[in-house]
Structure 1
Amino acid sequence: MLKLLSFNWETLLIEVGIIAFKIIGIFIAFLIVKKIGNKVIDRTFTRLQDKQNISLGRAHTLQKLMENILSYVLIFMLVASIFGIFNIPVASLIAGAGVVGLAIGFGAQGLVSDVVTGFFLLLEKQIDVNDYVTLGALDGVVESVGLRTTQIRGFDGTLHYIPNRDIKSVSNHSRGNMRALVDIKIAYDENIDQAIIVMQEACEQVAANNPAIVDGPNVIGVQEIGTSDIVLRVIAKTVNGEQWEVERQLRKAIKEAFDAKDNSDVTSGQPSS
């Protein structure tokens, strides 16, 4: 009786060791296949981008999506393989998933909505990776577009995970040229026409040295009359993503132009106008 118990114990340990070895082997195979698959996807989209003239953002978007799909497929195969080790039929897994899915169907409505919305976001090319977008109250640069969530990086560095079902409206700031807009305040006693001339000269100097400016900049005139100052507006069209830098350069150039005008008036003994 003692020998039989000893034999059964040893057999159990061997079987447990074999099962553990198989599970470890499956996990290692999962990691290897996933790594190889991601490399193949990366090379494939790099070649497509070169041959088919696909934009970098679009290529990154589709690449992230394919990597996500590959991960889901491999996870399902991993779970099915582990079930196979314990002699549980995959058909039972699928049937059980159907029963569970029916039981939690009402709770899974949000997930279905995520997938449907994500599908149309990708199909209609509303956003791509590296686009600067506004989604509801959040804005930032898109880092990933998936079937369930969309990730955008805010300008403060925060990474936002947004369920696709919460995306009610999309404002994409990365399609076409952008507008640089600068408002300059001057005092009531300043000569408006002279101020516009000085500002326009500064704008032309900036445009001559900045290839990111597509059109303008132009001083369009008085934008607002405040209680203690007058606002003059400058607008320009710029290459996408360069509008903020152009606005900073315009402010600096206009300030320096006004300073130079004031200094020349003082030197010549003429009153500032």
Structure 2
Amino acid sequence: MINQKLNSAINWQKYLQYFEWDKILTNLIQSIVWIIFFSILFIIIRKIGRGLINHFFKRYRSKYADNFVEKRISTFHSLSLNVFMYSLWFFWIYSILSVIGIPVGTLVASAGIFSLAIGLGAQGFVSDIVSGFFIILEKQAEVGEYVQIGTIKGTVAAVGLRTTQIVSDDGTLNFIPNRSITTISNMSRNNMVAMIQITILPETPIQQALEIIEQVNTKKTPEYPEIVDSPNVLGTVTLPTGKLALQINITAKNGTQGKISHDFLGFYLEALQQADILLPSQNYPNQ
């Protein structure tokens, strides 16, 4: 038994003698040094590249401030950073694999066996890029615009190669894959309508209420330059719940319809309350 263990140890020693440990250690140290070098170079290039891109687009953004072109520049700024970072990551990974000794070129050339599997796996990625390209080309949405995509509504933060980023009204940052975007409702291109509905009771004096609303419109509309047309008092409408309401539509510049709606609803309710017009309690959420 002891002889067998001794022979096994001797065999292992003979086997280990075949390795050129000095050469292996030298190659290992060289590989580590090269990996550190490429990583540091990657960080430096990323910092310089991002700085140059930001500086370049900042100059042109200040030139076209408060202009539709500014949003277009912001969109291309986001896209340029996206492309730069993807390219940089690709070359860094390629460099590290080459340093380790993995024949990247040979692997790519012999990848025909796995081409079908890779193709199927990359379908989503390619669809994202193609969809993102057409979103930008057709100017469907620009950075800073208020849009609705599916059930998500908010401000466009970035349009990238793979995803479009939307910041919701509550601050939530939503990442939407471009391939899943079928319809974009852009609410920043045309004038928008602030639709105000005031629920009423069957016994509410409708004609008197409408006269008060018209008086409020005459008094308050000149104070809001965002309003592009005279308020349109539609009168009595039926809500989906079956209740009655007075509806007023106010056309305003895009992005201001929310404020117009909130302000004028408050003006209407205050005036109706001062005139002792009977209204349902849900019109006064603080009561």
User: Into which bin does the TM-score normalised by the smaller protein fall?
Assistant: 0.7 to 0.9
2:129 equivalent in structure 1:
115
After superposition, what is the alpha-carbon deviation per residue over 1:22-49, rounded to whole angstroms, capped at 9, x for unaligned?
A: 2112111111111111111112222233
Q: 1:260 aligns with which of 261, 274, 284?
A: 274
- Secondary structure of the 1:55 match is helix
Report the more deviating stretch, 147-156 or 91-100.
Answer: 91-100
Pairwise CA RMSD? 2.9
1:128 and 1:226, CA in 2 relative to 1: closer, same or farther beyond 3 A? closer
2:36 equivalent in structure 1:
24
1:178 equivalent in structure 2:
192
Q: 1:77 offset after TM fit, Å?
A: 1.4
Is the 1:188–1:228 Cα contact (8 Å) retained in structure 2?
A: no
What amino acid is aligned across from residue 47 of structure 2 in structure 1?
K
After superposition, what is the alpha-carbon deviation per residue over 1:196-244, rounded to whole angstroms, capped at 9, x for unaligned?
A: 1111111233322223222222322222389996421111111212211
1:51 and 1:261, CA in 2 relative to 1: closer, same or farther beyond 3 A? same
1:69 and 1:195, CA in 2 relative to 1: closer, same or farther beyond 3 A? same
- Secondary structure of the 1:188 match is coil
Task: Return structure 1 stretches of 4+ with deviation > 6 angstroms.
Answer: 225-229
Is the 1:118–1:147 Cα contact (8 Å) retained in structure 2?
A: yes
Is the 1:148–1:164 Cα contact (8 Å) retained in structure 2?
A: yes
Report the more deviating stretch, 19-28 or 85-94.
Answer: 85-94
- Secondary structure of the 2:77 match is helix
Q: How does the TM-score come out when normalised to structure 1?
A: 0.83
Structure 2 gap segments, 5+ residues each = 1-12, 278-287
Q: In structure 1, what is the Cα distance between the partners aligned to 2:241 and 2:85?
A: 61
Report the more deviating stretch, 219-228 or 176-185.
Answer: 219-228
Q: In structure 2, what is the Cα distance between the partners aligned to 1:243 and 1:46?
A: 30
Identity across aligned pairs (percent)? Answer: 39
Q: 1:95 offset after TM fit, Å?
A: 2.2
Task: Name the count of aligned residue pairs.
Answer: 261
1:99 and 1:40, CA in 2 relative to 1: closer, same or farther beyond 3 A? farther
Q: 1:76 aligns with which of 60, 70, 90?
A: 90
Is the 2:61–2:74 Cα contact (8 Å) retained in structure 1?
A: no
What amino acid is aligned across from residue 129 of structure 1 in structure 2?
V
- Secondary structure of the 1:147 match is coil
Question: Is 1:224 paired with 2:238?
Answer: yes
Structure 1 gap segments, 5+ residues each = 264-273
1:97 and 1:133, CA in 2 relative to 1: closer, same or farther beyond 3 A? farther
Q: In structure 1, what is the Cα distance between the partners aligned to 2:134 and 2:69?
A: 19
Q: How does the TM-score come out when normalised to structure 2?
A: 0.79
